[in-house]
Structure 1
């Protein structure tokens, strides 16, 4: 699991501070060792000087001192004490070195563990980065496909828009034609109705004229029937020639009357209800 950002920043700043502060640590350590060695040497020299001051003179010479001629030589004792002190100091230093080495080993283990965790985190981050790059590549392809699809849809929409404009223009023209045809049909229908009304009026006039002729014909027939009843005795005494002449007169009378007007029979034959 990745550490929070502020913790990682704090850790990096502490590492930078430790590196900055420990940059002169080897020089300081050398100076410390040099000072400790100088102190030991000064103590050793002081011990030797004290031992020389308290040493006995040699019986054979008044000026030369021979160290180590006696078992209780103070120079030798001081030298041994100095060496023992130096050995003790070196042992303490060695213990300190071992302690520091142990601490360094612990720090090395901790750093190795941290390094392993960082490597694992780096591996996880690398895998996540690889997956993210793959997803980005897939998303880019989808974006390109969507862009192409939108371009195609825009072209299709433009084509449809042009077709709609064309159809609207055609529709407006058709509506204008329909309006014109509607007006023409209304005019034609009105003319047809007027013609039919005139025809109906003519037929009504013809029917009225026909009925009038029928009435006049009936009146003439009734009048002729009365006249035939009065002349029936004279018709029986006529001769054969006279009867022939009478037929001629009846045939002629069927065409014209005595005053020269057309008879009713001819009028019925020539006139129809349609005029």
Structure 2
């Protein structure tokens, strides 16, 4: 391992040792040189001493003062050398002692380094644990940040709901004052009507008394002179002619299957005279088919997102589609050209209906119902519905009374002229309402819900007349549509498993059609055709 690869603490220790060597190197060099010189001097002196000793032995018995003088001089030198040798030995002993101390310091430094290695290992282990904990905390922080974003979104929704409720409260207060005035006016009108009714009853009683007297006179005359009363003698009120009925054929078998779109189908509708079937899809197109032949008549384009519902006007000249691009679009059936685009909603538009007076009423997931003037091409009024609107229907031709089905499981009845809520039907369903439809001849509302039930509601009393359900029936979409038969005696609705249920209005199952392979999004029924569409792009014509 290179020095560059060592941890920082090792770099620090090596740097300190290098600095120490650089700082104390000259002192040790001098000491070693002196030691080496002393050793050399000792060796040289020992050699000289040995030579002198030999010389002294060789000259021990020779006479002469000169020799004695030389011997004395040599003895002095020897003594001097021995002193130097002793000093050098002492110095060497000091050097050995210093060397030992240095070795001890080196051992202590090595031991400290080993301890530092152990501390570093412990620190590295702690660092790994801290890193793992940091990663865990970072992941939790990301999760918390995502949760905060979701909470912020929910808070924004709640703020919007609060603003809507506050606006609704202000409107309700204004409407309450208007209602009080209307109640007083109605009370006065009611008093007048009661007086008129009493007068009318009195007149009817008087006429009845006159009639009774006339009959008694006639009977007396007959007893006196038997004569048949002619038609001229008595007058009868004419009874109104019976309303024409529509022949009702319960569909029983598959007549034609078609793959209609490039993507999932969301809705199906038949025009008033039963000649055209329209389908809307996630491919942003509306397809028009000939009912008799099944041939594609035209393709209507212009939407930028999925088509969610379709409606024809009474004349059959226009077809209207609502879209997830927050708009309502109207096409001319004959030319297949886009005629109007109504923009103003800020959420997906799931339903819209034509009125008899040249208006359009639309319901959206932005929790509003808007009334549009087609002659001028803009929104004339907005009703705040308190919850996302999945479907709506008109309870009369001019659209002054509207029924709407909502995400919050409730059905609401509105007065479109004042924008006021007439009635809120809560507790009827326990899942979001996917469809509302009015009976063709009676004041009865049909509702469909994700709680797997259909309800028939009397709009005079707002009471549930009948709950229709089956263990196998499951609406497959939040915009699944149900419908009445043309005579109102039967009800048709599609299920998640592809079955189409035909119920009698009393709740009995008349027929279950099982030709679809995916969830049925809607059914359309008039006197000339019965058509159903499924999510997986198939449209089926049914026959009796």
TM-score tier, shorter chain, comes to: 0.3 to 0.5
Higher strand share: 2
Using CA pairs below 8 Å that are at least 6 residues apart, which structure has the higher relative contact order?
1
Which TM-score applies when normalising by structure 2?
0.26
